[in-house]
Amino acid sequence: MSDNQRSVSVCGGGGCVASGSLKLIELLQEEISREGIDCLVTLSGCMGPCARGPIIKIQPDGVLYQDVCAEDVPEIVSSHLKEGNILERLCHRRPDTGTPVPREADIDFFRHQKKIVLAQCGTVDPLSLESYQKSGGYQALQQALGELSPDRIIGILQEAGLRGRGGAGFPTWKKWRFTRDVPGEQRFVVCNADEGDPGAFMDRSILEGNPHGLIEGMAIAAYVVGASKGYIYVRAEYPVAVERLSRAINSAREAGILGDSMMESGISFDLEIRMGSGAFVCGEETALMASIEGQRGEPRPRPPFPAESGLWQAPTLLNNVETYANVPPIITNGAAWFANTGTEKSPGTKVFALAGAVVNTGLVEVPMGTTLGEIIYDIGGGITGGKSFKAAQIGGPSGGCIPREHLSVPLDYESVSKLGAIMGSGGLIVMDDDACMVDVARFFLEFVQEESCGKCVPCRVGTKRMLEILNRICEGHGMEGDIERLEFLGNQIKETSLCGLGQSAPNPVLSTIRYFREEYEQHIHQRHCEAGVCPSLVRAPCQSACPAGVDVPGFVSLVGEERYAEALRLHRERNPFAAVCARVCFHTCEEKCRRAALDSPVAIRSIKRFMVDQEVTLQHPRVIENKENEERKIAIIGGGPAGLSCGYFLARLGYRPVVFEAEQRPGGMLVQTIPAYRLPRETLAREIRMIEQLGVTIETQKALGRDFTLDGLRQEGYEALFLALGAPEGMSLGIPGEDAPGVVEANAFLREYNIRGSVPVGKNVVVVGGGNAAVDAARTALRLGAETVTIVYRRSQEQMPAYAEEISEALHEGVRLRCLAQPVSLSTGKDGTLEALRCSPMALGAFDRSGRRRPTSSGNEPFTLKTDQVIVAIGQKLNARPLLGDLEVELTDQGFLKADPSTGQTSVPWLFAGGDAASGPASVVWAIAAGERAARGMDMLFTGEDHAFWREEHSPDTAFDPDADPVEFPREAVATIPVERRRGSFDEVELPWNELVALRQCQRCLRCDYGKVTVQQETHYA
């Protein structure tokens, strides 16, 4: 076939075959013949984007069509092949703009790859020796046999720096030389194609798509080491690969490429396929050779290594499929060509099977040293559903996980090893925030334990003990010390197991403990799985996702039966601020709603808003009277959501806590910084009154350090103190001119207006920051008369931490957004007044530890924004030391109070902390949850028992038919007041639903809690 001849290649990879690609070949041939077009239709190997199959490629146009079905064939032939019109509906589309991208070379998935091993996959016909030879196939073997000595080939591989692609990356040239130098009459060349890792299909795709490339690489290896016989060990579960490989071997044998005289060189070499029955342990080289010999696939001690004593005690060279497939292009193009790709210590490329929670799953080949983030986002298209990346499991079940803070790690042998993982053969499973890392570790360890050959005790027994502990943790029966036991056992198994598989078996557990220890602690101490995965700990994912643990399906179902008072009481079992959260919560519950898998999540926050608006008389929760508790003195310092919630739950246990609030009104940031258009003041005041009615005393204008000290409270008889001070101090920009008049911190700006009723506002306001405080300040400034308000943020809009709906409303109201801009200086006029903010344009660079792309200078010229007021909202901090006096309290690295995540207890037993003072700036519902934990912790300090009766789960007595189909009602949008009514007004923007809409939305709930009983901690109040 000439370069200009029209051809259609149909992907013959496993995914596309399963989707019907073989049928497409027949239909295309028939339609082309009917239309009388000169066009060749061929089968090809895997083209890469497996999730988009069936895929066809039309040459010489370079056009790629995806998701092709039989009905598309006539139009492809008549419109494209006959008339030259590209079918845009079958083309890949850019995810950001929806623009069709017809040509393969322009698609991001391909554009960021470099193919060496997979260069022929998707191009040559795997069933045709002629097709392979026309693309340059077997030229490397001919060159090796006719022009290069074995030593010269070893030298070329050494110069190229090729390392084994099957595991630890041992230098290929070294292994070949060792095998060649060992005396022996008979030598063997073996290919390990036993690909047993879950989610891995790299070797299979090469066998199916370019079997002659493997044969050529093994033939060159046989010539170098002096072997006359070779074996390809492939699992029987790969029937397509075995069938195509068998045909290729037979074709090569018939053509004289294999046999008694390779390519008439006088050198004998032949290949044989040996099929394994799927035992994972046979991927270990000594077990693999035992299986080829007809013995049970069990590892044996090394040394001797296979190069010295392998198959039938003869010197044996053993590499994997990808390693052999690299050899022909190296011989053809030279060592320098290969070494120019990748890193100095890890030259070349690596093939990965990209799977999991990523948009573009499939087969990818990238230069060694490509970062994990580039593979996931540039090639993989990011995380499905717009969710956050959590971790990637690399190297199969014997590998390890890499968390989001290491997205910028270059994927080479040394870098990956430093993170506690291994490169392995190239499996790469991407996980989002819906993954429970304890469950992930259990899954991989269960696989390894089941596949253990049982020959050595550390692997056979040790992995079983580890699995028992993990099962116990996931089932809600974890015990103190379980994490340490897992670490001890894991390290013992690594040091004492017989083979590499046993030595690497604990890696998933050890790496998840290393990076996600808090998830293990949460499972053990709180009986909670935040990801909503572990069945014994999860009634419903929405409830698990709620930091306060609110029974979401319970109150939604009660609202659905018009039992509004009961629904509100159920909500207040775990969260006193139902009306507040109905307006300002960031509703993580909706992010985990399983209804999203059908259409869209249930609008839980809007249902809650309707529910609280039905309250006529305050719905008080259950309170237990206890004279002994009533006499104890507990002080809560800070009247924000954390402090007030702590007082609420203490009062329910019979305590009479006192809340000291520095400002003249309680509520903390709820009243000081959240604008009234989001949270009406009477709504907040109503719920604070409810807390006071339970027996909580609130003393305002009492500030720590000014009006009292911690030591003074202790002397007054207070037995326990809860610090809920928030993070009141704003962070500075650190740029020239920041001290100019007109530069104000966002919280101070909002506080002054919300408390005093007025605040100076400029005409042209610039707000620096991307969080909720920045958006609140911008929208407030507009309402107070600013002519223009511009938010300047150094990252992209998608990376702004503010709630998406708040950003959307701000833009709707007229706030301008200048993203990828870094303030560098402020300038003033002759009279000292602020005139302009100078900014440097930024570009997104490598990933930082937050999992976001780090803003770096774009190199473009700075620009200036005219302004007479700059509001700074780039973060908050706590200066704790002066407030603690002489008390030695352990702090976090960021300067916040270090508190036990289960109880809120600090390093001083009688001192507790929570909310922003402990976690750093977080959400309202996180603060509420911290207050509840501290109340429980203080009660446990006094009594030694857990009396948190509100944590007991009760199934609601509401009707539900588990056999009924889900209703087809859509998610309802939130109504808002018109934009023109918002200028100069702080009326609430969001409007409540009517009853019909709310009841209809309640019916959308799938009731994931139905029939569920979770493991709970014992409480001692009836």
DSSP secondary structure of 530-584: TTS--GGG-S-HHHHHSTT---HHHHHHHHHTT-HHHHHHHHTTT-S-HHHHHHH
Classify 66 as helix, strand or coil.
coil
Q: What is the mean pLDDT of residues 440-458?
A: 90
pLDDT digits (tens, 9 = 90+) for 980-1004: 999 889 999 999 999 999 999 999 9
What does each C-alpha distance from 428 to 164, 343, 420, 431, 1012 come to in angstroms?
A: 18, 20, 15, 10, 34
What does each C-alpha distance from 466 to 276, 435, 651 come to in angstroms?
A: 28, 20, 43
Q: What pLDDT band is residue 618 in, cutting at 50, 70 and 90?
A: confident
Q: Tell me, what's the pLDDT at 122?
A: 82
Give the Cα separation of 542 and 556 in Å (integer). Answer: 11
Q: What is the mean pLDDT of residues 744-759?
A: 93
pLDDT at 957 over 50: yes
pLDDT digits (tens, 9 = 90+) for 466-510: 999 999 999 999 999 999 999 999 999 999 998 888 888 899 999
Residue 99 exposed, middle or buried by CB count within 10 Å (0-12, 13-18, 19+):
exposed
Give the Cα separation of 510 and 487 in Å (integer). Answer: 6
Q: Tell me, what's the pLDDT at 4?
A: 66
pLDDT at 554 over 70: yes
Give the Cα separation of 12 and 243 in Å (integer). Answer: 13
Give the Cα separation of 602 and 559 in Å (integer). Answer: 13
Q: Which long-range contacts (CB under 8 A, 24 or more apart) does 461-469 make?
A: 462/489, 462/492, 462/493, 462/497, 462/506, 463/493, 463/502, 463/505, 463/506, 465/489, 466/490, 466/493, 466/506, 466/509, 467/442
Give the Cα separation of 382 and 517 in Å (integer). Answer: 26
Tell me how many degrees the CA angle 745-749-750 measures, rounded to the nearest 5: 120
Give the Cα separation of 745 and 755 in Å (integer). Answer: 15
Q: Tell me, what's the pLDDT at 61?
A: 92
Q: Tell me, what's the pLDDT at 1016?
A: 58
Mean pLDDT computed over every residue of the chain? 93
pLDDT at 1020 over 60: no
Q: Tell me, what's the pLDDT at 57?
A: 95
pLDDT digits (tens, 9 = 90+) for 662-681: 999 999 999 999 999 999 99
pLDDT at 797 over 90: yes
* Structural domains present in the chain: 6-108 (3.40.30.10), 129-340 (3.40.50.11540), 343-433 (3.10.20.600), 436-525 (1.20.1440.230), 539-619+953-1004 (1.10.1060), 627-728+878-951 (3.50.50.60), 729-877 (3.50.50.60)
Q: Tell me, what's the pLDDT at 96?
A: 81
pLDDT at 1018 over 60: no
pLDDT at 842 over 80: yes
What does each C-alpha distance from 172 to 164, 239, 302 come to in angstroms?
A: 6, 29, 19
Q: Tell me, what's the pLDDT at 549?
A: 94
pLDDT digits (tens, 9 = 90+) for 166-204: 777 899 999 999 999 999 889 999 999 988 777 788 889
Q: What pLDDT band is residue 395 in, cutting at 50, 70 and 90?
A: confident
pLDDT at 1022 over 60: no
Give the Cα separation of 227 and 274 in Å (integer). Answer: 17
Give the Cα separation of 497 and 491 in Å (integer). Answer: 10
| CA torsion, ordered 318, 321, 326, 332, to nearest 10 deg | 90
> Residue 229 — φ and ψ, nearest 5°?
-140, 140
Window from 70-74, 147-151, 274-278, 608-612 with minimum mean pLDDT:
274-278
Q: What is the mean pLDDT of residues 807-831?
A: 94
Give the Cα separation of 83 and 508 in Å (integer). Answer: 54
CB 203 within 8 Å of CB 209: no
pLDDT at 1017 over 60: no
Window from 422-431, 456-465, 905-914 with minimum mean pLDDT:
422-431
Q: What is the mean pLDDT of residues 756-781?
A: 95
Give the Cα separation of 502 and 756 in Å (integer). Answer: 68
pLDDT digits (tens, 9 = 90+) for 909-935: 999 999 999 988 899 999 999 999 999
pLDDT at 632 over 80: yes
Q: Between these two residues, 451 and 41, which has the higher pLDDT value?
A: 41
pLDDT at 1019 over 60: no
Q: Tell me, what's the pLDDT at 3?
A: 57
